[in-house]
Structure 1
Amino acid sequence: MIIEALKDTKPTAFGYLLLGAAFGVLFQSLNLHWIFGILMSTLVYAGFAQFIAIPILAAQGSLFSIAIATFLVNLRHIFYGIAFLDKFKYNKFLKSYLIFGLTDESFSIINAKKPISARKYEATIIILCHIYWIIGTFIGIFMHKELLGVNINFLFFSLVALFAILTVDTFKLNKDIFSLAAGISSYIFFKVIGVKEVLFFSMLLSFFIIYFKIYLSDHDEEKNIIG
């Protein structure tokens, strides 16, 4: 189980180590004790919301401002939680942590293995992804001095590449053309009309499109059974 989880999280490990390192480098620019950077990646674990928190902290902004920014950036996780309600209810001991640790990447990996109902596998994926992020942060914090003056913006492209890899892997396993088309079409639609929160609204629309399709399919099956 652990070997399989390690294999499935290889692309995520690469992306998280790079992005975690980028966060660690930027966090050290605040001149705060390094332990707070590690604690933030351990207890907050919010991906790009942590990057958003850095300029707010630099400007001595309030914790409330950081909380609101984090909530808005990670609002899409509501849909992840809805999709995994049945999966996580069996992990009663780890349920709270699994909800906390669910990210875009871990969601994609677990969802790709939907036919496999393995509670330990799901928990292992989430734990491993969290560890990758913490290790990446640790590396960035202690490489801060060596990377002074180096433009690290190129590291952020690793997240785009990571999403592309996970999308292709998921499609290879599920062959779900409808869901893929719904996601791409929704994104293009909101991008064209100039909506700022493109990701959130495209996910919202995709959710309702797929839900409506599933509802119609179940309704037709019920009719056939009754008939």
Structure 2
Amino acid sequence: MKKRSHTLKKAFAAAFPYTIPIFAGFWFLGLTYGIYMNVSGFSFWYPLFMSMFIFAGSVEFLTVNMLLGAFHPLQVLAVTLMVNARHLFYGISMLDRYRAAGWKKIYLIFGMCDESFSINYTAEIPDDTDRGWFMFFVTMLNHFYWVFGATLGGICGSLIHFDTEGLDFVMTAMFVVIFLEQWMKEKRHTSAVVGIAASLLCLIFFGADNFMIPAMLAMLCVLTYLRRFLEKGEEAV
């Protein structure tokens, strides 16, 4: 029992510092979402349970308009798939990492948002730390931050009056920081360059509203083709 408790504490202590920047982004953006729900006429129960069980920020914002209009199940399904299609690629990337996670894999799959994926995929986990519990706590903490911010915004929305325009840029800035941190850790930047090039080309050809899925497909194809060369390069280093 003491050994298990020590394992959990060690994994939590290793995971928590990685999630501090996520807390800042999720708290502000979740607060904005809760206020938006309140202004739209919904009680705090809606952002509480929607953030808890949907846990997809973009979809949750879109769901506000869906709840206010006529319900079209197929349209909701199509929009959700388009907005969150990138998670298909996240899932493929995490197959090996989640394989030995045991029962925790169920929650890791459910709670895999952009930020949790970025940390769990790139973090340098200490050798004496349980990887499954590390990823579990990263996912759980990020989930908690979002639920906390959304619920607080729903409760305090009627009391707070300020212009929330521009708060969503917090998440963009956070991803830039994560990208730069990963860039500095890598000795070779082939994957990053492929990602940037594919995104820019797809942005030019498909436009800002439609480039995400083609860019993901292009990255998947190019990196799959280059996989053996990248692995040889890592072995050589």
User: With structure 2 as the length reference, what TM-score do the two structures score?
Assistant: 0.85
Shift of 1:185: 0.6
CA deviation map 1:31-79 (0-9, x unaligned): 2232122000000001111111111212243344333212210001000
Match of 1:181 among 170, 183, 193: 193
For 1:75, the equivalent position in structure 2 comes to 85
Residues 139 and 179 from structure 1, CA distance in 2 versus in 1: closer, same or farther, beyond 3 angstroms? same
2:114 — aligned with what? 104
Aligned to 2:71: 61
Q: In 2, Cα distance between the equivalents of 1:138 and 1:14?
A: 15
Query: Percent of counterpart pairs with the same letter?
Result: 24
1:102 Cα deviation after fit? 0.5
Is 1:204 aligned to 2:214, yes or no?
no
The CA distance in 1 between the partners of 2:116 and 2:233, in whole Å, is 33
CA 1:54–1:172: 2 relative to 1, 3 Å: same
Deviation by residue 1:173-222 (Cα, 9 ceiling, x = unmatched): 2344111111111111011123332222212211221121113456999x
Give the direction of change, closer, same or farther, for the CA distance of 1:219–1:13 in structure 2 (3 Å limit).
Answer: closer
Judged with a 3 Å threshold, the aligned counterparts in structure 2 of structure 1 residues 42 and 215 are, in CA distance, closer, same or farther, namely: same
In structure 1, which of residues 82, 93, 105 is the aligned counterpart of residue 103 of structure 2? 93
Output the TM-score relative to the length of structure 1.
Answer: 0.88
Q: Is the 1:17–1:132 Cα contact (8 Å) retained in structure 2?
A: yes
* C-alpha separation in 2, matches of 1:166 and 1:11: 9
Output the amino acid matched with 2:145.
Y
In structure 2, what is the Cα distance between the partners aligned to 1:24 and 1:132? 13
The one-letter amino acid paired with 1:65 is Q
Residue in 1 that maps onto 2:8: none
Aligned to 1:224: none
Runs (4 or more) in structure 1 with deviation over 4 Å come to 114-117, 216-221
Aligned to 1:32: 42
RMSD: 2.1
